[in-house]
Structures are given as C-alpha cells and as structure tokens.
Amino acid sequence: MPNRYDIAVLGATAAGYVSALTLAAKRRSVIVLDVPGSATESPLGDWVPADVFKACPALRNVRSAGTDAPFRTIRFHDAQLRSEAAFRSRGTVGFVFRWRRMQAALDSAARSKGVQRLRPRAPLALDLRESDVALRVGKRTIHAALLLIAQDGPAEVLTRLRLPARSVPAGTMTLCGLDAQCPRGAAQRSLQGELHVVALDKGSRFGMFFAAGSVLHVRIVSGQAHAPTGPEELAGLIARAQAAGILPERLSLAKARGAIWRPPGGVALELETHLAKRTLLVGSAGGFASALTGQTFDPTVRSAMVAADVAHKALRAKHPQ
C-alpha cells in the first residue's frame, strides 16, 4: 500500500465511499481511512429516497446488494394509531436497507475500483500543510494532496482541526431507534413495501417504522438536541402499534439492537464554510442531513458528489488551495 495519494477520505461512511468511488472513476488515487466516529448517522435499519440512485452513478451498482426492499406507500397515523392516511405512488418512493450491508457493498465496489482502505489501530493525527495533508498513524505517515472529512459533525470537526469560525451551529435533532427480528407470517408481509409515520403528542416529535427484510426498525425523531427519548417511549410506540394490529403481537425485543444518534439536521445551510486548508467537509461533517426527518444517506451522498467534483477540479489547478 503506497503512502501518497491524490485524495484521502476520512470516514467509511456513505459520503466517504461515494466521494472515493466518484474520484476513482476520474482516475484519482484515493484512500479511505476507516476510523471511529461520533453518532451522527443511523447504525441500524434505514431508508433512502429512490431518486438518489438515479442521481448518483456510484450507487447504481450497489443498490441491489445494499437495499432490502422498495416501498411505494407512505402511511401516516395519528398518535394513538386509530386513524390513518396513505400516500400511494405508482413508482418506487424509496428503499429500506441495513447500513452494515450497504457499507459492505460500497466497500466492495470501492476496492474493485482501486480505492484503498485502511483501518488504523493507532490514533490518527492530522497535519494540514501548505503543500499537502499528512495523516500520521503510528509510525506511518500518509500524504494526500487533498483531504475529505466525511464523518462526525461540523462543530467537533472544526474544533479538532483548530480552525477559526465565527459561529458553528449545533444540531437540534435526536433520533432513537431499534432493530428487532420480525416473526414470519402475514404481519411481516403486511409491513413490506410501506413506510409508516406516526404523530406523537409531544411537540416536534414523530415516530417511524418499517421492515428491512426480516428486521423491523422503529425510531422516534425529535427536533430537540437532547430530548429525553428512550426505550420507554419506543416501547410505548411499539405497544400501540401492536394493539392496533399493525405490528406482530410477538416481537423478539430481548435481542433487539438499539441506538441513539444526533444528525446535524439543516446545519449545512448555516455553516460559515465547508473549506479548510486543503480540506473539504463532506456529509455529516459538513452538516448535511435532513432538517425534517434527520435522514442522512441522501443529503450526505449528494454532498459527496459535489465535493468530489470540486476536489477533482482543484487538483487540476496550478494552486489547489
């Protein structure tokens, strides 16, 4: 593995891999550094609008491997799940997927295009210099002409880089979710092809649930940065959906996987800059996340395509910085 690249991408996220794949298609040498990041994106089941696969060439070959099923119906419920309204589309509205499968598909696609991936065991140190970017991992130093940071949130990234900024807006969203095995049968089949949205009594909150294959994903979206959303509220939503006959009566919650994450919803519009010395802030690092749903896959991927184009043009210039 060489130590010098055109582009180094920090973060094995959707934005990171799409940036890498787009640049590799332009014959740029790229390395993706898979380092731990903060909880800004869902590690569980997720959904994505269908048109992102049409807009992003790098995703077209991973759609079938990374997604579980398409959905054409969005069903809206009141808080008690006693009344509902459905939006039905003739075409596919979106897809549901599990992030680990999507990540594996993206990683495989990137490797096939010559993108290198490194998972450092030692802490990573960044040095933004006039001539290049140096990334020190233990005794090894990787040099890149440009760096794309594609994980964490804007505030922590700018603080880590010690960059001056007049104001770094903080995200105001919290999502709490879980993945549980859905028993086979009519109840599981009835969930396929639909995305459910549930109104909640408490302010700027709503619930969502959908089936990703045999996995049921339930989440609560809050417009508050530190909302006291927890297992009890998720359990209450599940219980009401079971009582309404929408979810199976028997769910294996003992082995369910739960997570809390805080996407920087809408922060990209308020961020003073997405540029630093030989560095671009991409994906969640640039504050790209839906201000309404907290959905990150679609906005981060679109930001990655733009950033890759900017980076490619910068490398063709006499003075990239």
Q: What is the pLDDT of residues 110-157, one digit of tens each?
A: 999 999 999 988 888 888 888 889 999 888 899 999 999 999 988 888
Q: What is the pLDDT of residues 73-86, one digit of tens each?
A: 999 999 989 999 99
Q: What is the pLDDT of residues 54-100, one digit of tens each?
A: 999 999 889 988 898 899 999 999 998 999 999 999 999 999 998 99
Instruction: Identify the pLDDT of residue 293.
Output: 92
> b/e map of 168-178 (b: 16 or more CB within 10 Å)?
bbebbbbbbbb
Q: Which residue type sits at 263? A: P
Tell me the CATH class for 4-41+99-170+264-316.
alpha beta
On whether the CB atoms of residues 302 and 59 are closer than 8 A, the answer is no
